[in-house]
């Protein structure tokens, strides 16, 4: 399987992370990509550099206003003269009848849903490179590859049309799906990250041409807390095109694979022309965020189950944080996919 990757992700190196009122070093570090890359090399996957697509793929899923904010944010922040080394919002207006702000501090609050997305001098470049990685993988599948893996960093599935959140700035999974829609009438997204893909759900919630399915730890006790419940099924034209399968904290292989079987049936009934997998590896029993307890063999079986859908597939890297087994779990899920394909 080809794997798309660029070193440009390294320009995003955030330090700040607020956990229950405690400031810590974020778990979304460049070293994540190093460990994932080691997993790819161990299995001798062929690395491909991304094509630069420009703003086009991003504007299919994000507002021009939001993209302009991200592109201009660091320069405007730096011009304040008394600001910190990273951009962290000190207000979140929740848009309750408010006016779009002109000041960078106001815009930062307007466009971030939480404090988990510190913006630094290289964040915009890295986020754009990640969307190029995802779009390149989608284009390779459109050009005839059966499946392609996209090593995207920073991740994307918590990013809404005009909101950053949960380490995510641009929604790489949504960008890949929208690109595949240029060829296919219907596209399905299967999110196997331990966290609900709330941004992806939000982007496609009122659309009937993209099915969004997410298997994740119960949001009643786990991020993102206010999205990801089973009753969220879509709205308007998209009613019935969203499926959330929340799992009890600590669920292992058996419970996870049972949920995946339900997801498979829903995807098959939707009859998409292509599939995007939001490949979070943070459902691992060894992940530091400790939501679910999937084993390495469980990840292999997840890969096998995804492959049995028999669809042209883009696997977009989402979560999976610093553990010694991160690269091994990536090798396992891709190996399982190839075994069953």
Check which CATH number belongs to the domain holding 251 and give it.
3.40.800.20
Say which of 158, 179, 184, 216 is annotated catalytic.
158
Q: Is residue 28 part of a domain?
A: yes
pTM greater than 0.95: yes
Q: Is residue 314 part of a domain?
A: yes
Structural domain of 44: 2-61+121-340
Q: Is residue 261 part of a domain?
A: yes
Q: Is residue 190 part of a domain?
A: yes
The pLDDT of 20-45, averaged and rounded, is: 94
* Residue 251 φ/ψ region, left for φ over 0, alpha for ψ in the -120 to 50 degree band, beta for the rest: beta
Q: Is residue 109 part of a domain?
A: no
| Residue 97 burial (10 A CB sphere; 0-12, 13-18, 19+) | exposed
Q: Is residue 191 part of a domain?
A: yes
Number of domains in the chain: 1
What does the pLDDT look like over 68-126, one tens digit per residue?
Answer: 999 999 999 999 999 999 999 999 998 888 999 999 999 999 999 999 999 999 999 99
pLDDT > 90? residue 322: no
Q: Is residue 88 part of a domain?
A: no
Separation CA 292–CA 194 (nearest Å)? 7
Using 50, 70 and 90 to split pLDDT, how confident is the model at 12? very high
Q: Is residue 103 part of a domain?
A: no
* Residue 254 φ/ψ region, left for φ over 0, alpha for ψ in the -120 to 50 degree band, beta for the rest: alpha
Decide if 158 is catalytic: yes
* Residues 6+ positions from 44 with CB-CB distance below 8 Å: none
What does the pLDDT look like over 247-256, one tens digit per residue?
Answer: 999 999 999 9
The helix (run of H) or strand (run of E) holding residue 64 is: helix 64-78
Count the Cβ atoms, other than its own, within 10 Å of residue 82. 4
């Amino acid at each position: 399987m080809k794997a798309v990757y660029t070193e440009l992700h390294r320009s995003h190196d955030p330090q700040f992370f607020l956990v229950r009122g405690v400031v810590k070093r974020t778990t979304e570090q460049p070293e994540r990509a190093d460990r994932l890359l080691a997993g790819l090399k161990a299995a001798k996957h062929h690395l491909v550099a991304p094509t630069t697509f420009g703003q086009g793929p991003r504007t299919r899923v994000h507002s021009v206003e939001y993209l302009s904010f991200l592109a201009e944010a660091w320069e405007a922040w730096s011009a304040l003269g008394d600001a910190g080394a990273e951009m962290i919002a000190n207000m979140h207006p929740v848009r309750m009848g408010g006016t779009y702000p002109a000041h960078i501090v106001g815009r930062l609050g307007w466009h971030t849903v939480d404090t988990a997305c510190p913006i630094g001098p290289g964040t915009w470049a890295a986020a754009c490179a990640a969307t190029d990685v995802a779009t390149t993988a989608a284009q390779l599948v459109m050009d005839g590859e059966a499946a392609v893996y996209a090593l995207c960093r920073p991740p994307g599935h918590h990013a809404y049309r005009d909101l950053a959140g949960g380490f995510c700035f641009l929604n790489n999974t949504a960008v890949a799906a929208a690109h595949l829609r240029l060829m296919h009438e219907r596209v399905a997204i299967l999110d196997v990250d331990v966290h609900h893909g709330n941004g992806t759900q939000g982007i496609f919630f009122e659309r009937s041409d993209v099915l969004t399915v997410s298997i994740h730890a119960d949001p009643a006790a786990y991020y993102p807390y206010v999205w990801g419940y089973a009753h969220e099924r879509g709205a308007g034209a998209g009613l019935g095109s969203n499926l959330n399968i929340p799992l009890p904290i600590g669920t292992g292989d058996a419970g996870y694979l049972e949920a995946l079987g339900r997801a498979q049936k829903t995807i098959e009934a939707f009859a998409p022309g292509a599939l995007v997998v939001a490949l979070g590896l943070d459902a691992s029993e060894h992940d530091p965020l400790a939501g679910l307890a999937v084993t390495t063999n469980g990840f292999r079986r997840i890969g096998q189950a995804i492959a049995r859908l028999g669809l042209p597939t883009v696997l977009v890297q989402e979560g999976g944080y610093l553990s010694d087994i991160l690269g091994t779990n990536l090798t396992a899920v891709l190996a399982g996919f190839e075994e069953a394909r």
